[in-house]
Structure 1
């Protein structure tokens, strides 16, 4: 087994994640081989397993990183909104744009890839996660064999936006369950699957998406006016 300095390990791990991000986004999980990733980084295939137990573990790291970046962007943008209506509109617009343009985000939120990979790794439900010895919660280790696995340093727990909790506490919100609100927002993302299909004519898709955003936001809040600060 090749021995690396801590600095080399940090660099190679970062390069593996970057290569995985590039190849998974371009080709998807199934069409990307471990040898493709290691060739991109310039290391042997066997060396890959000093950093990740499997291709699935690397894919989970990439997906969770992509998810967390989106959530951080949304949370920063929400701070600039002046009303709950504007928050909801911004969240929908931003997430829809990301689902359309970013294949990894689409696989996250529309195709449920984190759930699939997590269950494939552990044979457990998505909400199950165990703690590593350093306190990081992760769904890529389980039970007594956790010490023998590389620490991926990724938290795969289900993550949700906190805003619906505040929205439903208001008198002008028509739904009193934040999970229903989140489900409503997530469901709207599936409209992107209709683009470039016979379901929605290409020339009308943008208008359909606009109407859906307006309908959901104005239907959620009793105050029918919405503003994103534009």
Structure 2
């Protein structure tokens, strides 16, 4: 096994993330193999395994990176001077827009991709991701409650409601591409009305 400098390791890792993302977008998790990834990167399989133990862990790492970018964009909303309801409505619409504009996140919401990932990942990684995601959500919700933007309720329940709304994207095709935006507008409006109180 060749020894790599720190710079080479960084370059290889970046290449695996970039090429892996391209292949996952094009073919999905099930139809992308580690052979496809190493061929696209011009590396051996052994080198791939120095960085990731499976294609699912690579997919998970890419997903985490995409979620961090999304969170950064959403955090910008809190700088705007909006009413509580407007802020929450804008939060949901921006979240959906970021998914619609991101081919990787779109892929996550297609063809049982997310379920396939969760099924194949080691249990401790799934639990860690879920716990971390929930904890960050609770922190954000608690801050919004302290600012008077959200009504005082169990933060975990509110995070669950927000997660449920985002997962409705999984049913876009079943609801119908033309009808879906109208359905989401109403759901977002009703939920924002229920979760917020005007200052």
| Alpha carbons of structure 1 residues 157 and 115: separation in structure 2 relative to 1, 3 Å | farther
Say which SS state the counterpart of residue 2 (structure 1) adopts.
coil
Partner deviation per Cα, 1:110-146 (whole Å, 9 max, x = no partner): 96569826x832x437445xxxxxxxxxx7xxxxxxx
1:184 aligned residue: 161
Q: Which residue of 1 aligns with 2:121?
A: 120
Aligned length: 193
Q: Which runs of 5+ in 1 are unaligned?
A: 129-138, 140-155, 226-230
Q: Identify if the C-alpha distance between structure 1 residues 181 and 209 changes in structure 2 by more than 3 Å, giving closer, same or farther.
A: same
- Counterparts of 2:149 and 2:71, CA distance in 1: 26
Which one has the largest radius of gyration? 1
**Does the C-alpha gap of structure 1 residues 195 and 58 become closer, same or farther in structure 2, counting only changes over 3 Å?**
closer
* Structure 2 residue 163 is the aligned partner of structure 1 residue 218: no
Indicate the structure whose relative CO is greater, using CA pairs within 8 Å and at least 6 residues apart.
Answer: 2
1:145 match: none
Q: Which has the higher helix share?
A: 2
- 1:60 pairs with 2:37: no
In 1, distance between residues paired with 2:47 and 2:150? 54
- Note if 1:27 corresponds to 2:4: no
Cα gap change, 1:84/1:3 in structure 2, threshold over 3 Å: closer, same or farther? Answer: same
Q: Which residue of 2 aligns with 1:99?
A: 99
TM superposition shift of 1:10? 1.2
TM-score (norm. length: structure 1): 0.70
State the superposition RMSD in angstroms.
3.1
Matched, 1:204 2:154: no
TM-score, normalised via structure 2 length: 0.79
1:14 CA displacement: 0.6
